[in-house]
């Protein structure tokens, strides 16, 4: 009954390569509002995103929406949990499991 | 009915339960659990340590720490020492924390080892001297830091000379305003809620929000009033509605108060409908409007579990309540209900007379705060108003517009000033605006709440050569995330009215408008 993200309409998809955890780090980094003194480049696969307070609920929504729109990865609501957002690596594992299960998009 | 005179101190609620229910769990956080006897002992010992570093009546203390057992112990210990205590949010930029400390006249901050570095930054910015501030360790991984204030603030009048509680609200001057509450102000609401919700020592209260949020006075003090257990939710779960639902199950939560945003998320993304926590016995919401169709769905799902609508600005705690009828439907108007026990509500027109039509909601009674702390001094903004029963009362003019029915039910209509609610947080647009205006690269700016299709969003229109991204990055250093504008639109000039004032209505309605050009647009917008 719920869609992954009703806020995002399926406009022309921008395709984004999502072949490695590094690609995912770039995507996550682009959704964080970096402040002064914070360097986006420092995001590593094991960066503790939640502990460092880098992700709020809006950033999480945007990451989920971007994965869907730009990389065709539609994570179900059941995967939008803290365990999958602790680090980029954790989210990458969830993406890989989701892909292996055949859940590419629609 | 408890009367005002015998309302106990907040820390006495804890002491009483430690006597009545020493072995009942008082506090659970992850794998940690504290009984009432253990919590009371820890609070007593820390209060002694605090007294040794100067805490006592007349002293104002900030607790700058993520939510956890040590934070709760620190809050109680400061109260026990007779101090006024202010929970502070570690997610706020240190510059803002420093302003809050100065504004409220905090002379001592308590923090955990984890937040010590950022706390030092805040203390250095808040203080007068540039040297390393005096600090030292305390029990439970806590530390104290002294704010080197230019001068001791004026002493607080009774009853807060014997301690109290400070919560901050967004203020129109660009300075967060410290809302000074007495022990009685908070305890009256906590005791009322415990009675109304029928809480007992077997209840487990799920505490999900930050302790800087007024709704959490229920989580701590209503629990202590009856010897119930407060279960602290890990902060990391807050952004994940599905995890919150799982946590409600795992922790067998029986009583839960949260903002509608969280309830919305639990239903839409969290799987609440498929897994209604069987332990849940009573629930409440407050702080912003509930989407009517989702509220109707919750009432279906909750069945005979009481579901309450609570209303009240931070200045008065929750001061009205309405127990939702189980058969309420989305096409019905939603009331915020009647005043809680001992609280009187009145709606006054522009001339200050009670009206049956729309007017400003005024609140009187034991939950009404003492005043705002600004520049360390207390300013009482309450008014003297004569209610329709002929009684003249000290009342807080809420700024909320509404009407009251003959049987005392209140219906909300909106705000009379620049405040908006976004995701449960009260935000003063002028507070955000002044942060934007403070940026060196911004010439002028207006911050507005958007109309459809961007309802609920806050946009900043700024006359600047900088990019949206740069302005947002700068704002992040001075504003908490909850107050950041959703968009920053660089413009050549702001549209104005013939009066010369910025045409905020035009900006609110102007759907996309990446550029608002001067002169010609200005004329056409009038």
CA-to-CA separations, B132 to B100, B120, B124, B143, in angstroms, rounded: 20, 8, 7, 15
Contacts of B240 in chain A (CB under 8 A): 60, 80-82, 85
Which pLDDT tens digit goes with each residue over B284-311? 999 877 888 899 999 999 999 999 999 9
CA distance B381 to chain A (A): 35
**Cross-chain CB nearest to A82 (options B237, B472, B477):** B237
Of chain A, the percentage scoring pLDDT greater than 70 comes to: 73
Residue B332: inside a domain: no
**Which two three-digit tokens encode residue B485?**
């504008």
**Residue whose tokens read 């989580």:** B219
Q: Cα B55 to the chain's mean position, in Å?
A: 25
CA distance A2 to chain B (A): 6
Residue B333: inside a domain: no
Query: CA angle, A50 as apex, A47 and A54 as ends, to 5°?
Result: 80
Question: How far, in Å, CA of A64 to CA of A61, rounded?
Answer: 5
**Cross-chain CB nearest to B240 (options A33, A53, A80):** A80
Contacts of A53 in chain B (CB under 8 A): 91
Q: Which domain holds residue B454?
A: 419-525
3-state secondary structure of B353: coil
Question: How far, in Å, CA of B342 to CA of B70, rounded?
Answer: 34
* Contact call for residues B7 and B52 (beta carbons, < 8 A): no
Domain CATH code at residue B383: 2.30.38.10
Substitution target from A9, A29, A33, A74 for chain B, most B beta carbons within 10 A: A33
- Predicted confidence at residue A5, as pLDDT, reads 42
Substitution target from A4, A33, A35, A87 for chain B, most B beta carbons within 10 A: A35
Which pLDDT tens digit goes with each residue over A46-81? 999 998 888 877 788 889 989 998 889 999 999 999
Q: Are residues B409 and B425 located together in one domain of the fold?
A: no
- Those of residues 220-259 in B touching chain A at CB distance below 8 A are 236-240, 242-243, 246
Q: Is the pLDDT assigned to residue A7 strictly greater than 60?
A: no
Domain CATH code at residue B431: 3.30.300.30
SS (H, E, C) chain A: CCCCCCCCCCCCCCCCCCCCHHHHHHHHHHHCCCCCCCCHHHCCCCCCCCCCCCCCHHHHHHHHHHHHHHHCCCCCHHHCCHHHHCCHHHHHHHHHHHHHCCCCCC
Residue B223, CA atoms < 13 Å, CB-side half-sphere: 29
> Of all helices (H) and strands (E), which one includes residue B393?
strand B392-404
Residue B181, CA atoms < 13 Å, CB-side half-sphere: 32
Q: Is B154 exposed, middle or buried (0-12, 13-18, 19+ CB in 10 A)?
A: exposed
Contacts of A51 in chain B (CB under 8 A): 236
Domain termination site, one of B390, B415, B440: B415
- Predicted confidence at residue A10, as pLDDT, reads 42
Which pLDDT tens digit goes with each residue over B64-105? 999 999 999 999 999 999 999 999 999 888 989 999 999 999
CB–CB contact A82 B243 (8 Å): yes
CB–CB contact B271 A77 (8 Å): yes
Residue B41: inside a domain: yes
Residue B113: inside a domain: yes
- Predicted confidence at residue B513, as pLDDT, reads 47
- Those of residues 255-314 in B touching chain A at CB distance below 8 A are 265, 268-271
> Of all helices (H) and strands (E), which one includes residue B443?
strand B442-449
Which pLDDT tens digit goes with each residue over B38-55? 999 999 999 999 999 999
Question: How far, in Å, CA of B16 to CA of B223, rounded?
Answer: 12
Q: Residue B220 has what DSSP assignment?
A: I
Residue B475: inside a domain: yes
Q: Are residues B149 and B171 located together in one domain of the fold?
A: yes
CB–CB contact B268 A2 (8 Å): yes
CB–CB contact A82 B477 (8 Å): no
CB pairs under 8 A between A and B: 51
Q: Is the four-CA dihedral B440, B443, B449, B450 of positive or negative sign?
A: negative
Contacts of B476 in chain A (CB under 8 A): 33-36
Contacts of A85 in chain B (CB under 8 A): 240
CA-to-CA separations, A27 to A65, B236, B467, in angstroms, rounded: 11, 21, 20
Chain B residue nearest residue A2, CA to CA:
B268
Residue B329: inside a domain: no
CB–CB contact B240 A34 (8 Å): no
**Cross-chain CB nearest to A55 (options B239, B268, B269):** B239
Substitution target from A30, A32, A40, A50 for chain B, most B beta carbons within 10 A: A50
Q: Are residues B203 and B309 located together in one domain of the fold?
A: yes
Contacts of A34 in chain B (CB under 8 A): 473, 476
Domain CATH code at residue B159: 3.40.50.12780
**Cross-chain CB nearest to A50 (options B236, B269, B477):** B236
- Those of residues 418-447 in B touching chain A at CB distance below 8 A are 423
Q: Are residues B423 and B405 located together in one domain of the fold?
A: no
CA nearest neighbour of B95 among B136, B125, B69: B125
Concatenating the DSSP letter of every residue in B144-212 gives EEE---SSPPPPPPTTGGG-EEEEEE--TTSSPEEEEEEHHHHHHHHHHHHHHTT--TT-EEEE-S-TT
**Residue whose tokens read 């520049």:** B375
Question: How far, in Å, CA of B411 to CA of B458, rounded?
Answer: 25
Q: Are residues B15 and B126 located together in one domain of the fold?
A: yes
- Predicted confidence at residue B393, as pLDDT, reads 98
- Predicted confidence at residue A41, as pLDDT, reads 56
Residue B274: inside a domain: yes
- Predicted confidence at residue B516, as pLDDT, reads 43
Domain ranges in chain A? 21-35+44-100
Q: Is the pLDDT assigned to residue A37 strictly greater than 60?
A: no
3-state secondary structure of B117: helix
Q: Are residues B408 and B427 located together in one domain of the fold?
A: no
Higher pLDDT, A99 or A11: A99
**Cross-chain CB nearest to B242 (options A34, A35, A80):** A80
Q: What is the CATH number of domain A21-35+44-100?
A: 1.10.1200.10
Q: Are residues B166 and B104 located together in one domain of the fold?
A: yes
3-state secondary structure of B28: strand
**Which two three-digit tokens encode residue B164?**
């109290």
Burial per residue of B281-318, b for 16 or more beta-carbon CB atoms within 10 angstroms, e otherwise: bbbbbbbbebeeebbbbbbeebeebbbbbbbbbbbbbb
Q: Which residues of chain B have pLDDT under 50?
A: 1-4, 511-526
Contacts of A9 in chain B (CB under 8 A): none
Q: CB count, 10 Å around CB of B195?
A: 16
CB–CB contact B240 A81 (8 Å): yes
CA distance B236 to chain A (A): 6
Q: Are residues B250 and B127 located together in one domain of the fold?
A: yes
**Cross-chain CB nearest to B269 (options A35, A53, A80):** A80
Chain A residue nearest residue B468, CA to CA:
A33
- Predicted confidence at residue B515, as pLDDT, reads 43
**Cross-chain CB nearest to B239 (options A35, A57, A86):** A57
Q: Are residues B85 and B70 located together in one domain of the fold?
A: yes
**Cross-chain CB nearest to B481 (options A56, A77, A81):** A56
3-state secondary structure of B76: helix
Phi, psi of B472 (to 5 degrees): -60, -40
**Cross-chain CB nearest to A81 (options B243, B265, B476):** B243
- Predicted confidence at residue B289, as pLDDT, reads 76
Contacts of A57 in chain B (CB under 8 A): 238-239, 265, 423
CA-to-CA separations, B50 to A78, B56, B62, B141, in angstroms, rounded: 46, 8, 12, 14
- Domain total of chain B: 3
């Amino acid at each position: 009954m719920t869609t992954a993200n009703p806020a995002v309409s399926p406009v022309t998809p921008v395709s984004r390569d999502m072949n490695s955890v590094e690609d995912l780090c770039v995507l996550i980094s682009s959704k964080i509002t970096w402040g002064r003194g914070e360097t986006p480049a420092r995001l590593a696969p094991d960066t503790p995103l939640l502990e460092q307070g880098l992700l709020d609920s809006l950033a999480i929504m945007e990451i989920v929406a971007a994965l869907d729109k730009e990389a065709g990865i539609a994570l179900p609501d059941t995967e939008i949990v803290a365990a999958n957002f602790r680090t980029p690596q954790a989210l990458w594992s969830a993406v890989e499991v989701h892909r292996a299960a055949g859940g590419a998009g629609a | 009915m408890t009367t005002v005179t015998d309302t106990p101190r907040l820390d006495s609620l804890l002491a009483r339960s430690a006597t009545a229910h020493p072995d009942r769990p008082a506090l659970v956080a992850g794998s940690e659990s504290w009984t009432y006897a253990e919590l009371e002992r820890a609070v007593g010992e820390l209060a002694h340590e605090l007294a040794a570093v100067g805490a006592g009546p007349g002293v104002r203390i900030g607790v700058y720490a993520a939510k956890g057992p040590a934070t709760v112990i620190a809050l109680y210990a400061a109260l026990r020492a007779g101090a006024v205590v202010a929970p502070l949010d570690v997610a706020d930029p240190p510059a803002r924390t420093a302003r809050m400390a100065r504004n409220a006249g905090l002379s001592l901050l308590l923090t955990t080892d984890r937040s010590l570095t950022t706390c030092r930054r805040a203390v250095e910015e808040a203080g007068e001297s540039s040297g390393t501030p005096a600090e030292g360790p305390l029990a439970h991984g806590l530390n104290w830091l002294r704010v080197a204030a230019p001068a001791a603030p004026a002493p607080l009048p009774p009853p807060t000379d014997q301690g109290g509680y400070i919560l901050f609200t967004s203020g129109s001057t660009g300075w967060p305003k410290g809302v000074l509450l007495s022990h009685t102000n908070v305890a009256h609401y906590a005791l009322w809620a415990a009675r109304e919700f029928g809480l007992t020592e077997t209840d487990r209260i799920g505490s999900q929000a930050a302790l800087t949020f007024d709704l959490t006075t229920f989580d701590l003090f209503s629990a202590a009033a009856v010897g119930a257990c407060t279960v602290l939710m890990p902060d990391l779960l807050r952004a994940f509605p599905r995890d919150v639902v799982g946590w409600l199950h795992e922790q067998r939560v029986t009583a839960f108060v949260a903002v509608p945003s969280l309830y919305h998320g639990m239903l839409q993304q969290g799987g609440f409908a498929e897994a209604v926590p069987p332990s849940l016995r009573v629930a409440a919401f407050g702080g912003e409007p509930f989407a009517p169709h989702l509220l109707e769905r919750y009432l279906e799902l909750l069945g005979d579990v009481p579901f309450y609508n609570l209303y009240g600005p931070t200045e008065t705690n929750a001061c009205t309540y309405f127990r939702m009828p189980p058969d309420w439907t989305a096409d019905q108007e939603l009331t915020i209900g009647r005043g809680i026990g001992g609280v009187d509500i009145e709606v006054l027109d522009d001339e200050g007379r009670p009206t049956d039509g729309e007017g400003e909601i005024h609140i009187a009674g034991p939950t009404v705060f003492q005043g705002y702390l600004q520049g360390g001094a207390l300013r009482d903004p309450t008014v003297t108003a004569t209610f329709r029963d002929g009684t003249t009362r000290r009342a807080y003019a809420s700024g909320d517009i509404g009407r009251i029915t003959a049987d005392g039910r209140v219906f909300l209509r909106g705000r009379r000033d620049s405040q908006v609610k976004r995701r449960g947080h009260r935000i003063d647009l002028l507070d955000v605006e002044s942060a934007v205006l403070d940026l060196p690269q911004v010439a002028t700016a207006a911050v507005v709440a958007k109309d459809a299709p961007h309802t609920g969003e806050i946009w900043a229109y700024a006359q600047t050569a900088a990019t949206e991204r740069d302005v947002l990055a700068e704002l992040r250093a001075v504003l908490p995330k909850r107050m950041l504008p959703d968009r920053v639109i660089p413009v050549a000039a702001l549209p104005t009215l013939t009066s010369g004032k910025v045409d905020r209505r035009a900006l609110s309605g102007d759907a996309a408008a990446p550029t608002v050009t001067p002169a010609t647009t200005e004329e056409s917008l009038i």
